[in-house]
Structure 1
């Protein structure tokens, strides 16, 4: 018989409802009998014992809140009866030993990737076209319009075809009801043309709103992020458009490139509009050089590479009350498997580590990394408070509706993405991953800002868990979308790649799901599987300005 509730940690004083529980439901768990006095929606929490006002609420074995009022045994935990509370940070107590998972089923496995001159290996092969400043966005868009379709990178225009059908009906005299309710179909939408460069997955245009008008620090961070994309193993080379007078100078970009890839050897074409003069002259040069770069990019072909060349970015968005007990711990096990084989993983979203910082501090191999992590978290939290906010304001309305009612509850589940391995490095945005193992990267919890940053730091695959559904992707890296529950997987199957609701239903263990996910990652990294975000052209790219973003 499948269980209808779950106690995550022996020290917890709340249970998680795995299904909707009506009033009067009798729950027997670990020799304790609890009768619900409130209706408990699936994913929400029920008190095991009577909880007095001021008492601590524990989940995952850590403090996640304080009771505002008395909560009876069997009562539901809500935003009205508890408030956010979290454990404070203290000196590191080293716990860097870990039980490495059995990786025998992956021994000898490789993936087929693109080998770059610096020794890195890409999971895809793209050419980039990048503006140094938002003033060049229009020129970037003109290049995009000029190149995408002729080179065979245009996608089926399903919705354009549907729009044309509806417009045709309007011209024929159809009224509101017919337009709203008459069935239409995609018809004979134009299929993608054959690629001129079959070994190049595409040209990606990284428009952004930065480069000037902000702080010098923002401009430097933007140059570091763009350098991370240019030197990324999934990038064969880049065309860069500069106006000339902006804060984000080409010289800063070049320095950041050398920091990440000394002796950088990829083709890089930089065009300065104020130096060249006429827009038409610059655009013709941009077309010529981009096409010349694509000829060079097309020379790369996929070749076998060890799994240690995979760097996984860990992300969650649209989280729900099941995230921390299904998808997040599943990719945490995936992370441990990869680390055990010499690969790298990136755990980011610092506002969503609130309350579990001590665990990560204790897992830092080097004391200086523990100190840096503490400093980054405290500085970030202070900036949020100075802006009239705070980490406690991180949960979104969707999070709260689906059971994540304090930031500490959300964070305790989010941290499960990082598995159990030691922390080998702590990075500030937008620094590059250089050490194999678990890396902590300071980013906001904002899905796109964080995913953008993880890729800029070197992730060549991103695992993105979601309980509510989100289409988030990235221009150059496959973002694997993983559902925390089967209802979501079935409901939004067009944008979700994998399901871990099997864990909730008792059909699969966390370890089994984690191994299944790694097997899928290998297929994605080899180009054998196209994930939904790539299929839909979900090219989300938002650089983080170091102001407050939760």
Structure 2
């Protein structure tokens, strides 16, 4: 590996240089005409400075301010939490409107391509056809689980697994008096059966049973938000209809759900069955009615078949989790190129996780197509950060221990890399949590940085595919929206092949360009949108966590 492949300056303004491989203490390199003699080990993904810095001097990466020196730092010295503190530029909305110039990517390779999706009455197209069973309040969770036990195996959606654990062999070993050491050495992994669609309902991808801990006992605003989120799930093009269980006396009233759904889709044609336990003579009768209505709903859902759809019907969520120092160099820019391709073809992409846009606010403000949208983004960001700061966890506290260990030292470094998922297209709309995607083009959606809370929000706002980058490996998925995992490095792809769908690590190795990876990933997305199973689907990773923005009372 030559010097140019060992280190990387991402932007000409940067004085933080990225190590692409492990650089041992005593190593000498020449890069961009400068000589560096490393006085300590610098692991791959971590950064060193290209010049001597004094305490308080600015550190730049991706062309933006990402921190300040806490002490004097010598040229070639590793930057880490001991000598770097988070800092970002101030941001604001300018009074004048301006014309946004965007160089659209070449989409000629995709102009005739389509995906096989489920066409809905409102003109949207689903990449899956799912039936939902959802509670309005946590005390219905047990009934949801009873319905799951009654339906999912009988209809063929839950019995077949890719993996089984042979607990019976452990029980037999214990009964036969085998030692704990012997038991620990036993191989209890068994290959399960491959997942196949149930032949009774071949056009229904799944019955999704959601549970949560909300709906009552907390802030009323959280219950209203929950109703909006659940309405968004029903409204999602990947959903054919829903069975909704309500107790009756909770804050999250069925009327709030129905009002939210009517606002999102005034002429909704999807069947939605709401059963209120306090209006039914017994719990057994509630469950019996729920089973029958769900079964009838699935019969109707099965009448819809996959048909060709143009790529402008894609609504792609852009997410990152378990990020590392390569995420902002390989995987996130790859998603950014996919985003630009989809937008250029008239489709929609959604960039989430507002805490991870801290430090790049001005760039996104400058890309907003209207002053109104720019002001909305600025207002949401400021209010969110102020609330987090009041709780002792401002955006500066965003990097996790895993992020820091793998080179994301400040939130600004993490954010500058995370924002690359949004590509370069104009920002057409800014959405608060649970607001629905309505405008084609790049949308910004306010969600927290928590991976599952964020993907839950993306699906709730209408995404029919989610692209999820990771540098450390994040085993998660979404109940209604297929989630494609993209690794930032090849070693992770090889280490976690059951988790990762697509590898962008070849960019780090110099084997592929961002454009090549982006085009390959979009081809993969088209396959997934047409029914190819993601790794998260095969592992039945149906994670659902609503975001609570209020408090418990």
- Normalised to the residue count of structure 2, the TM-score between the two structures is 0.97
Does residue 354 of structure 1 match 2:373? no
Distance of 1:126 and 1:263 partners within structure 2: 20
Aligned to 2:83: 81
Return the match for 2:108 from 75, 82, 104: 104
Asked whether the 8 Å contact 1:95–1:363 carries over to 2, the reply is no
Does residue 52 of structure 1 match 2:49? no
Aligned to 1:230: 234
- The 3-state SS of whatever aligns with 1:186 is strand
- The 3-state SS of whatever aligns with 2:78 is coil
CA RMSD of aligned residues (A): 1.5
1:239-258 equivalences in 2 (<5 Å) = 239-258=243-262
- The 3-state SS of whatever aligns with 1:352 is helix
- The 3-state SS of whatever aligns with 1:203 is strand
The Cα shift of 1:182 comes to: 2.8
Distance of 1:441 and 1:335 partners within structure 2: 15
Return the match for 1:481 from 485, 501, 522: 485
Aligned to 1:394: 398
**Kindly tell me: are residues 187 and 97 of structure 1, through their superposed partners in 2, closer, same or farther at Cα, counting changes over 3 Å?**
closer
Aligned to 2:534: 531
- 4+ residue runs of structure 1 moved beyond 3 angstroms? 92-95, 155-161, 187-195
The Cα shift of 1:91 comes to: 2.5
Q: Deviations over 1:32-58 (max 9, x none)?
A: 222212210100001111111110000
Return the match for 2:503 from 492, 499, 515: 499
Asked whether the 8 Å contact 2:164–2:189 carries over to 1, the reply is no
Distance of 2:127 and 2:221 partners within structure 1: 31
- The 3-state SS of whatever aligns with 1:74 is coil
Does residue 15 of structure 1 match 2:14? no
Q: Deviations over 1:188-207 (max 9, x none)?
A: 76986844211111100111
**Kindly tell me: are residues 191 and 130 of structure 1, through their superposed partners in 2, closer, same or farther at Cα, counting changes over 3 Å?**
closer
The Cα shift of 1:161 comes to: 4.2
The Cα shift of 1:160 comes to: 4.9
Q: Deviations over 1:158-201 (max 9, x none)?
A: 66542122222222222111111133441676986844211111
The Cα shift of 1:385 comes to: 1.1
1:505-516 equivalences in 2 (<5 Å) = 505-516=509-520
Return the match for 1:28 from 23, 30, 44: 30
Q: Deviations over 1:12-42 (max 9, x none)?
A: 0111000000122222222222221221010
Q: Deviations over 1:408-441 (max 9, x none)?
A: 0000000000000000000001100000000001
Q: Deviations over 1:242-290 (max 9, x none)?
A: 1011111111111111111111111111101111131111111101100
Question: 5+ residue gaps in structure 2?
Answer: none
Distance of 1:190 and 1:507 partners within structure 2: 33
Return the match for 1:277 from 259, 270, 281: 281
1:149-164 equivalences in 2 (<5 Å) = 149-156=153-160, 160-164=164-168
**Kindly tell me: are residues 241 and 74 of structure 1, through their superposed partners in 2, closer, same or farther at Cα, counting changes over 3 Å?**
same
Aligned to 2:549: 546
Asked whether the 8 Å contact 1:153–1:202 carries over to 2, the reply is yes
**Kindly tell me: are residues 164 and 57 of structure 1, through their superposed partners in 2, closer, same or farther at Cα, counting changes over 3 Å?**
same
Q: Deviations over 1:348-396 (max 9, x none)?
A: 1000000000000000001100000010000000101111221000000
Aligned to 2:67: 65
Does residue 199 of structure 1 match 2:215? no
Asked whether the 8 Å contact 2:93–2:378 carries over to 1, the reply is no
Aligned to 1:517: 521
- The 3-state SS of whatever aligns with 2:284 is helix
Asked whether the 8 Å contact 1:154–1:192 carries over to 2, the reply is no
Question: 5+ residue gaps in structure 1?
Answer: none
**Kindly tell me: are residues 274 and 254 of structure 1, through their superposed partners in 2, closer, same or farther at Cα, counting changes over 3 Å?**
same
Aligned to 2:415: 411
**Kindly tell me: are residues 173 and 499 of structure 1, through their superposed partners in 2, closer, same or farther at Cα, counting changes over 3 Å?**
same
**Kindly tell me: are residues 359 and 193 of structure 1, through their superposed partners in 2, closer, same or farther at Cα, counting changes over 3 Å?**
closer
Aligned to 1:40: 42
**Kindly tell me: are residues 188 and 503 of structure 1, through their superposed partners in 2, closer, same or farther at Cα, counting changes over 3 Å?**
closer
Q: Which stretch shifts more, 27-36 or 215-224?
A: 27-36
Distance of 1:185 and 1:348 partners within structure 2: 37
Aligned to 1:318: 322
Does residue 427 of structure 1 match 2:444? no
